[in-house]
């Protein structure tokens, strides 16, 4: 796909914004000017994620022919905001930027290049790409990111080195197939998207980025955020990853064995007490109780899978 062809196909840009008053209009102008300079057909969709400040008023204070601002009352999380924004896209390529501009949208040309060169369906901006340049990356935050990447490799077999950087270029076909199925609305939506993309066989490549953290320390990340990221990730793994497969297989096998034990016990009690003479009723009861406990313990993966549906 040549760059001229990319220009012709056009780009939908989604900007999720939560309490970005004083910054969101500047972001809209910057993104719009950038793509006008590139001569690219584009549209900008700003999603006010239930902000409690003047984000929506500021975003709508100026009218642009290719900018749509949408909102809803309750804060639902970045993942939900992007998914909601996807319902308004009309172009053949899709990307999204955070309103805080930690990532310069001008780097989109790098993602275009990698999409063209690799004939990729999805290009992921990656902090761990050898050519990436990161300014001020707190050591503890870097450590947590690396540990999270290891968890993802173990649970979902994702070979992508960086799933969380909010900079991706996607073809519309992949977006329209995957996003309607997504359930995670906040912390691990990137992981869920890439897990689905991997499962469906879309070609994913990583591209270098230049990243400047504008929030010092952990920024918006705290212990509660880390815990929720973990829960979201387990929910994704429980829904269609390795954890779901083995947990469901183990649980279903236990159900069959427990039913078999219950059947033997009832047969001995009601029909023929001499069948299986080496097995006492107390042993069957103990096996039944153990099986029942295992079934109850392994049930939560179902609720985890539905954790973020509502």
What pLDDT band is residue 309 in, cutting at 50, 70 and 90? very low
Average pLDDT, the chain: 81
Euclidean distance between CA atoms 182 and 198, whole angstroms = 14
Same domain, 178 and 276: no
Residue 27 has pLDDT above 60, yes or no: yes
Range 245-274 average pLDDT: 77
Range of 6-20, 143-157, 182-196, 277-291 with top mean pLDDT: 6-20
Same domain, 101 and 174: yes
What pLDDT band is residue 85 in, cutting at 50, 70 and 90? very high
Same domain, 188 and 265: no
Same domain, 173 and 216: yes
Both tokens assigned to 229? 């990221």
Same domain, 280 and 132: no
Residue 303 has pLDDT above 60, yes or no: no
Range 17-46 average pLDDT: 92
Same domain, 183 and 288: no
Same domain, 285 and 146: no
Residue 267 lies in a domain: yes
Give the per-residue pLDDT at 20: 94
Same domain, 218 and 72: yes
Both tokens assigned to 305? 């899978």
The structural domain count of the chain equals 2
Which residue did the predictor score with more confidence, 57 or 102? 57
Q: Across the chain, which distance is largest between two alpha carbons, in Å?
A: 88
Residue 137 lies in a domain: yes
Which residue did the predictor score with more confidence, 31 or 244? 31
Residue 310 lies in a domain: no
Q: Which of 239, 263, 289 is the last residue of a domain?
A: 239
Residue 242 has pLDDT above 70, yes or no: no
Range 260-283 average pLDDT: 78
Give the per-residue pLDDT at 251: 67
- What percentage of the chain exceeds 70 in pLDDT? 80
Same domain, 235 and 272: no
Instruction: Report helix angle 281-298 to 242-270, nearest 10.
Output: 150
Q: Which of 202, 220, 239 is the last residue of a domain?
A: 239
Q: Which domain holds residue 221?
A: 3-239
Check residue 141 and give left, alpha or beta (phi > 0: left; psi -120 to 50: alpha). alpha
- For residue 87, the number of C-alpha atoms closer than 13 Å in the C-beta half-sphere is 10
Same domain, 21 and 132: yes
């Amino acid at each position: 796909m040549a760059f001229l062809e990319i220009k012709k196909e056009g780009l939908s840009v989604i900007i999720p914004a939560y309490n970005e008053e004083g910054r969101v209009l500047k972001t809209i102008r910057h993104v719009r000017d950038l793509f006008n300079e590139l001569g690219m057909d584009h549209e900008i969709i700003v999603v006010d994620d239930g902000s409690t400040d003047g984000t929506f008023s500021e975003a709508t204070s100026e009218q642009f022919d290719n900018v749509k601002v949408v909102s809803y009352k309750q804060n639902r999380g970045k993942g939900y905001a992007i998914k909601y924004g996807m319902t308004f896209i009309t172009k053949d390529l899709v990307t999204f930027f955070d309103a805080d501009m930690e990532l310069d949208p001008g780097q989109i040309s790098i993602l275009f290049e990698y999409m063209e060169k690799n004939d990729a369906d999805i290009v992921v901006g990656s902090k761990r790409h050898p050519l990436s340049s990161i300014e001020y990356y707190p050591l503890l935050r870097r450590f947590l990111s690396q540990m999270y990447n290891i968890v993802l490799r173990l649970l979902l077999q994702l070979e992508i080195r960086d799933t969380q950087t909010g900079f991706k270029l996607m073809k519309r076909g992949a977006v329209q197939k995957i996003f309607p199925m997504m359930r995670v609305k906040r912390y691990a939506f990137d992981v869920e998207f890439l897990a689905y993309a991997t499962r469906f066989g879309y070609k994913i490549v990583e591209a270098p980025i230049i990243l400047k953290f504008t929030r010092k320390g952990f920024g918006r990340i705290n212990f509660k955020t880390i815990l929720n990221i973990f829960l979201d990730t387990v929910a994704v793994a429980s829904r269609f990853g390795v954890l779901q497969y083995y947990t469901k297989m183990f649980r279903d096998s236990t159900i069959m064995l427990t039913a078999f034990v219950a059947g033997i016990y009832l047969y001995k009690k009601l029909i023929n007490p001499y069948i299986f003479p080496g097995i006492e009723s107390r042993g069957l009861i103990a096996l039944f109780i153990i099986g029942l406990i295992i079934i109850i313990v392994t049930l939560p993966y179902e609720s985890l899978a539905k954790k973020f549906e509502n």
